[in-house]
Amino acid sequence: MQKDPSKSLVQQVTRASARRRWRGVRRRFTGLTIRIFGVNVIPLLILWVGILYLGQYKESLIRAELETLKAQAQLFAGAIAEGAVRPVPVMPRDPPDSRIYGPLLPREPEEVEALAPDLSRRMVRRLGETTESRTRLFDTQASMIGDSFQLVGPGGVVQVTSLKAPPDDRFDFSDFIDWAGEMMGRFVPLTIDLPPYPVCQDKKARTCPDVTRGLDGRVSSSAWKDPDGGILLSAAAPVQKIKQVIGVVLLTKNGQDIEDAMVRVRRDFLRVFLGALLMTFLLSSYLSRVIGKPLRRLAVAAEAVRLGRTRGTEIPDLSGRRDEIGELSSALRDMTGALWDRMDSIESFAADVAHEIKNPLTSLRSAVETAAKITDPEKRDQLMAIVLDDVKRLDRLISDISSASRLDAELSREEPEPVDLGALLERMCDAFRKPLARAGLEGLDDTGGIRLEIPEGGPVVVAGNQGRLAQVFRNLLSNALSFSPPEGIVTVRVLRAKGSVTVHVDDQGPGIPENRLEKIFERFYTERPAHETYGQHSGLGLSIVRQIVAAHGGTIHAENLRDEAGQVTGARFSVVLNTV
């Protein structure tokens, strides 16, 4: 049996679309979205815990209903005592000693106050119509005289029973709220432990505690649990005539009003809770889209930059948001630009290194090849001198290249510390004055060819690495002294400013060509005096100086000094650093 290729293609497309939908769902519900939703749901959980206090609210409703029912029972007992009590003749009892002395002479019957049965039943019926509670009247023997839920007529007794409204088959949001409230009641029980209701017999109600307490002359009320699991409230009050208990009024009422009140409270609570939950979900989704989606875009772009081999991938520009994510986007874009610049710098540096090393190697190769063919000892010695110079030049190049390549890493690892710039410059100038004095080049005065000018007002302190800053001014002083004439003066001047300090290093040399003022800071660029032999410098000194100054957050630039006639009288290198 052959498979239908069209069906298999449809199945593949269906599975692929299902995978895409699942990936889309996973992207929408990321870890950040779940965390945002979880944090926002915590206040709702606290609100949900507050539902436990509804049990106290239910107890307060029961107490209020019992107080009302007790007051009604006292009111009904007073009305019956005033309107349904009649004098009844009763034969007096014989005294206890009548059995010894014999019966007394015949006596007249005595009249006592007692409940009139017919009149009492009518009053109980009329009083019961004014309330929703069931009213029953018991005599002193706990026998029931009247019941507001019974109609007595020629045909006998008719029992009155309250019927519930027919159920509505329609299902709406209120029904859903009621169902949710019922489920909530199962998981968070709000019921109060009540004793089961004792069935008070119609003829003998001594089994009812409230009736018993009423016969003792006390007013009482109780809450019970009926056979259906609901609440049943009862209250009893004695019917008294001149402090004589002649009956008991018992009022019973179901707790449907309390249950309805609790249902309304649960319904309102659930509506507020579901509304707050919906708003929480919508706000969490909004926050996830506002925060999580741009972060995901930035992460994807950063990963693409890491894996990409071209510069076509860019970090999204979200700087228009004017918030932390916009700042992160700008920082990532700047970091990516710095990364590409660093790669370009490394590429250029590698090319320059190869070019600079190739020159002495070529010279070495030519000298070695020629030396093998020359028999004249004098010329061979000249060639060996050339080889020695090229080896020294290679050694100098490799040392400077190694120092320049390690500079960024070392500066990134070192912690800045306060540096007294004035004291540092004094030590550097003294270090150069001593060899100049030994060479007999003291200059025009006693400065030893170097003049240092530091303003008063306390030390000039900058934050940085003292060793690297010393390297900066060592290179600048060495460069200035090499271009100055033998009797020239190199001036180091320190100028204070608000939040910064500027150090000028001036020489009296021939100056710098105007088109080379920036080029002299490039790697391997050499512009040396005529009296120096070619190859004594690698051309990395000023490049390293600018690199160190930039790492300290400063700037350096070069310019020519001119006299009033506009003639060049020397060169100036200005270093600007931030003070502490």
Question: Does residue 511 register a pLDDT over 70?
Answer: yes
Q: How confident is the model at residue 220 (pLDDT cuts 50, 70, 90)?
A: very high
The span from the CA of 440 to the CA of 367, in Å, is 39
Pairing between strand 450-453 and 490-497? parallel
Same domain flag for 33 and 142: yes
- Is 181:171 a contact under the CB 8 Å cutoff? no
Residues 382 and 465 occupy one common structural domain: no
Tell me if 443 is assigned to some domain: yes
Looking at residue 543, which CATH number applies to its domain?
3.30.565.10
pLDDT at 123 over 80: yes
Residue count of the chain, please give it.
Answer: 580
Tell whether 471 and 580 lie within a shared domain. yes
Alpha-helical (H) ranges within 91-157 are 98-101, 117-129
160 in a domain, yes or no?
Answer: no
List strand residue ranges (DSSP E) for 10-109, in order. 85-90
User: Which residues, in sequence order, are CB contacts of 92 under 8 Å at separation 6+?
Assistant: 107, 109, 110
Distance separating alpha carbons of residues 31 and 6, to the nearest angstrom? 40
* Mean pLDDT, residues 534-562: 82
Neighbours of 376 (CB within 10 A): 9
Same-domain check for residues 332 and 434: no
Per the domain annotation, does 93 fall within a domain? no
Indicate the pLDDT class of residue 118, thresholds 50, 70 and 90: confident
Q: How many CA atoms lie within 13 A of 441 on its CB side?
A: 17
CATH of residue 387? 1.10.287.130
Domain match, 261 and 348 both: no
Give the model's pLDDT for residue 345: 74
Give the amino acid at 523.
R
Same domain for 259 and 193: yes
CA distance 545 to 549: 6
Asked whether residue 337 is domain-assigned, the answer is yes
Whose structure tokens read 């051309």?
Answer: 539
Write down which residue in 413, 446, 469 finishes a domain.
413
- Please state which of the ranges 115-129, 254-268, 278-292, 348-362 shows the lowest mean pLDDT: 348-362
pLDDT of 38 strictly over 90: no
State how far the Cα of 205 lies from the Cα of 220, in Å rounded to an integer. Answer: 15
**How far is residue 179's CA from residue 277's CA, in Å, rounded to a whole number?**
18
Q: Please check whether residue 15 lies inside any domain of the structure.
A: no
**Is residue 447 helix, strand or coil?**
coil
What rounded mean pLDDT belongs to the chain? 77
Number of domains in the chain: 3
The answer to whether residues 543 and 404 belong to one domain is no
pLDDT at res. 436: 57
48-102 pLDDT, tens digit per residue, is 666 666 777 888 899 999 999 999 999 999 999 888 888 766 556 656 555 555 5
Q: What ranges in 439-557 are assigned the alpha helix state H?
A: 466-483, 541-551
pLDDT tens-digit readout, 295-354: 888 888 888 888 876 666 778 888 887 778 888 888 888 888 888 887 877 777 777 677
Mean pLDDT of 1-27: 46
Cα 489 to Cα 507: distance, rounded to the nearest angstrom: 7
Residue 100: inside a domain: no
Q: What is the pLDDT of residue 351?
A: 75
76 shares a domain with 33: yes
365 and 293 both lie in a single domain: no
Mean pLDDT across 125-140 = 87
Q: Is the domain of 351 the same as that of 483? A: no
Residue 9 lies in a domain: no
Q: Answer yes or no: do 122 and 246 share one domain.
A: yes
Q: Of 248, 274, 309, which one is at a domain's C-terminal end?
A: 309
- Structural domain including 537 reads 414-580
Name the domain boundary from 355, 379, 413. Answer: 413
DSSP-assigned states of every residue in 500-512: EEEEEEE--SS--
C-alpha distance from residue 288 to each of 30, 76, 295 (Å): 9, 66, 10
- Spatial separation of the C-alpha atoms in residues 461 and 421, rounded to whole Å: 6
Does 203 map to a domain? Answer: yes
Task: Count CB neighbours of 393 within 10 A.
Answer: 21
**530 and 409 fall within a common domain:** no
The pTM assigned to this predicted structure is: 0.48
